Structure 1
Amino acid sequence: MLADLFHKLATLTRPTGLPVVRDGRHVWRVSPAGAAVFGRDGPQLTRWVADGLAVVVKANPARTVYRVELPAATVFVKHCRITGPRAWAREWIRPPKARLEFDNATTLRMRGVPAIEPLAWGSNDTRWPGESYLITRGVAAVPFLDFLETEYAALPPAGQRATGQQLTVALAEFFARLHDAGIAHPDPHPGNLLLEMPACRVPRLTLLDLHAVRLGPPLSWHKSRANLALFNRFFQLRAGRPERARFWHHYRRTRASLPLASPAELRAQARELEAETHASNLHLWAKREGRWLGSNRTLRRVKRGDVRGLAVRDVPDYALRSLLENPDAVFAQPGTRVLKDSKTSTVAAFELPSPAGPVPVVLKRVNVRSAAEPLKNFVRRSAVVRSWVNGHTLRDRGLPTPRPLAVFQRYRRGLPAEGYLLTEVVPDAVPLDAAPGAALPRDVLVDLARTLRAMHDRGVSHRDLKASNVLLGRGRDPVLIDLVGVRTVAAIGVARRAKELARLNASFLAAAAVTRGERLRFLLAYLGAGPAFQVGWKSWWELVSRATADKVARNRRVGRALG
């Protein structure tokens, strides 16, 4: 904060040296490269928008990004807004976001780091803090995250391996150069990188979102590790250990300013990085859990009559209007397929209208079972709200579960009564215990074991891990459902893990096709999918067997069937 204040004071006393151009209500500071693109009249944002030259490529409450095709070049305009009192107060302490990004991009390029080329920055013609604008030159690149989710995902396995190795080396060398240049990006996730993949297949990366980068001397190992942990958060969930090890070795080999380290020291530093990344992810996930309970750039509040709740912003209002007016009507309308109808809940599949056409969805209604339940829902989160939060929490952790689209409740006398949860459909799903042939194929068994190991390693306890609460999407991809009892903690102990594996094991006690060999193969896949435990597989087998027997005995005492 003090650095921002000093920077603000410096900008008030030190002229930028850039020519000032006015465009109606905007005041622009234009770089020499920008003057060659815009001419002597400077940027004409108002006219570009009015004439339809400015095409929106990204929009949210905090910013809008336009692409503008000009005769001299393609440019991008980032329109930064103030979204609340805190942001407004921050603008008094620091320079406008657009100026910070303009100055930092200029500095990065001077230090030899690939960054966007700034052409101009502007603000409204007023002394009060407010909106600001950054104009940069367009490049023949795509957002790195978009590339991973589209082009890379469409490659055959051999192409993914080759391209993945090229990207790993390019990323390692890029961050080594960044840290040797004394630059730490506070949010170095793939969405803040642009990727060019030329015909020579040597990736070129460009850094984005530069308003908060820190500049200084080459980063020490402590600071490098902290910054790499932020970057590694994304890849620890999606890239295997061999790929992360390849990144680490190339990064360490390229770093010129760090002292040489022995092989043992390199291994120790790699373990430190993985541990700090995991701790950073746990902190991030815990911090994000509260955001699923209020309106923000991802969610909006919805209300109609005595029904109110939350919905993701990409579900249009008209798609939810009739659903909010009478949620119960869906279960009786033509075309609806009722999947479950019991005293506690009703589940149905139907199609929801969307701009791209009808989208298959699932609506779950949780019934009121007693007169006291609305009061309980008022003093603690209801079952549908817990399922809603837990669904988003699991997806944050990269765990497979249907995406929650909306949650709402009917209020009676001011108290939340029946609850409704709307989710996406799992394509071609079958429950795990209803999979064809009773015995699972070996690759499905291994995938399921790895999914459950990832769930536990990421601090998630399902607490009702029976076979009917695991679906196989397209007949083979494990998907977790019925998340009302999920708990998230910093670490899941061995006893809790064994108890959850035992609950799943109990679902298959009557399945003759699931042999002891299959159960052992599943356990070994679970144990091998992450760091080794101090307890060996034989001890694990005993723990799971004992917990399974306890579960069977408990259900027999209360007369409940194993599901």
Structure 2
Amino acid sequence: MTGWTLNPEYTTGESGKAFSNLDTVFALQGEFITSDPLSEVHRVHIGGRTYYVKRYTGAGKHLRRYLGRPRVQAEWENLLHFQAWGIPAATVVGFGLERDNGAFSRGALITEELADTRDLAWLASQQDACLADRQWVARVSYQLAHATRMMHDQGFAHNDLKWRNVLVTRGGEMFLIDCPTGAFWPQPFLGYRVIKDLACLDKIAKYQLSRTQRLRFYLIYQRQTRLRTADKRIIRRILRFFEGRE
């Protein structure tokens, strides 16, 4: 596809002018946040609101420049999937891409800032008191377990479900962000991806949470009250997933 889509809620006023098409989006000046070989992220303040503008100049690995979904398209489609499934995530404001003679040229994704949030990895690095609050941990774990199970029930795996991609508030609300490599998988391939998602979440959790808290997360994810024999095999696979790679 080639084109630009703007969420109807943002088509009027200053946001409508600033985000009207790819040319205006690429001309925006804002606070530089981060970059990688394919994209860069800027934070902009428009009309009293704050937005994250992710601009892509690369499509992804190998033949994605010509074939398959460019990375930016995968990212906006996955966020829209989360919205459709009822998974809390950043609001998609605008998205689109351009092709030149069939090859990916550029693309962009705009999301509105989730105010007063921090990612779980940052909280862990700061030894934040929230992680020592059992009720707060229980509330976030419940939401995250349900969100993860919802994805997997659709045959979808996040593929980078790390603490840095989970935003939370002091009140215990949870949101998912940054999912450009998530995809739908048929069995038996989905099973491996499910284990990877759960192992990614546990990578920091094993250092920050108690065994009881981690087990409670797993049981909520499985919609069970106690472990079965099969669960013990699954848990062993989760615990061993990153062995030798940390």
TM-score, with length taken from structure 2:
0.77
Residue aligned with 2:220, SS: helix
- What displacement does 1:495 show? 4.4
Matched, 1:504 2:192: no
| CA displacement, residues 248-299 of structure 1 (integer Å, 9 cap, x when unaligned) | xxxxxxxxxxxxxxxxxxxxxxxxxxxxxxxxxxxxxxxxxxxxx7xxxxxx
The structural deviation recorded for 1:421 is 0.2
Residue deviations 1:465-486 (CA, integer Å, cap 9, x gap)? 1111111145522211122111
Query: Aligned partner of 2:155: which letter?
Result: G
Matches of residues 415-494 of structure 1 in structure 2 within 5 Å?
415-435=103-123, 436-437=128-129, 439=131, 441-473=137-169, 476-489=172-185, 494=191
Post-superposition shift, 1:383? 1.0
Q: 1:316: how far off?
A: 1.2
CA distance in 1, matches of 2:27, 2:39: 15
- Amino acid across the alignment from 1:407: F
Corresponding residue for residue 35 of structure 2: 341
Q: Secondary structure at the match of 1:420?
A: strand
The CA deviation at 1:462 is 0.6
How many residue pairs get aligned? The number is 234
The answer to whether the 8 A contact 2:66-2:102 is kept is no
Q: Which amino acid aligns with 1:527?
A: Q
For 1:474 and 1:367, the matched residues in 2 are separated by 36
Question: In structure 2, what is the Cα distance between the partners aligned to 1:313 and 1:453?
Answer: 30
Could you tell me which residue of structure 2 aligns to residue 329 of structure 1? Answer: 27
* Counterparts in 2 of 1:438 and 1:474: CA distance versus 1, 3 Å: closer
Unaligned 5+ segments in structure 2 are none
Counterpart for residue 53 of structure 2? 363
What CA distance in whole angstroms lies between the structure 1 residues aligned with 2:59 and 2:174?
Answer: 31
Larger gyration radius, structure 1 or structure 2: 1
Partner of 1:263: none
Q: What amino acid is aligned across from residue 45 of structure 2 in structure 1?
A: E
Please report how far the alpha carbon of residue 506 of structure 1 lies from its aligned counterpart in structure 2 after TM superposition: 1.8
Q: Report what 2:218 is aligned to.
A: 523
Q: Deviations over 1:318-348 (max 9, x none)?
A: 6344443343332xx3xx3433233332222
Provide the aligned C-alpha RMSD in A. Answer: 3.3
Shift of 1:546: 2.1
Q: What is the SS of the residue equivalent to 2:69?
A: coil
Distance 1:524 1:348, change over 3 A: same
Distance, in Å, in 2 between the alignment partners of 1:537 and 1:398 is 27
Pair 488,400 (structure 1): closer, same or farther in 2 beyond 3 Å: farther
Structure 1 gaps, min length 5: 1-292, 294-300, 302-307, 557-563
Q: Which gives a bigger RCO, structure 1 or 2 (Cα 8 Å, sep 6+)? A: 2
Classify the secondary structure of the residue corresponding to 1:439.
Answer: helix
**Equivalences for 1:265-344 in 2 at 5 Å?**
308-316=3-11, 319-323=15-19, 324=21, 325-330=23-28, 333=29, 336-344=30-38
Work out whether residues 130 and 170 of structure 2, in 8 Å CA contact, stay in contact via their aligned partners in 1.
no
SS in 1 for 2:96: strand
In structure 1, the partner of 2:68 is: 380
With normalisation by structure 1, the TM-score equals 0.37
Distance in 1, matches of 2:97 and 2:191, equals: 37
Alpha-carbon shift at residue 537 of structure 1 (Å): 3.6
Note the C-alpha offset of 1:526: 2.0
Identical amino acids, percent of aligned pairs: 23
CA separation of 1:350/1:464 partners in 2, compared to 1, >3 Å: closer, same or farther?
same
- Name the SS for the 2:219 alignment partner: helix
Q: CA deviation at 1:369?
A: 8.0
Q: CA 1:493–1:369 in 2, change beyond 3 Å: closer, same or farther?
A: closer
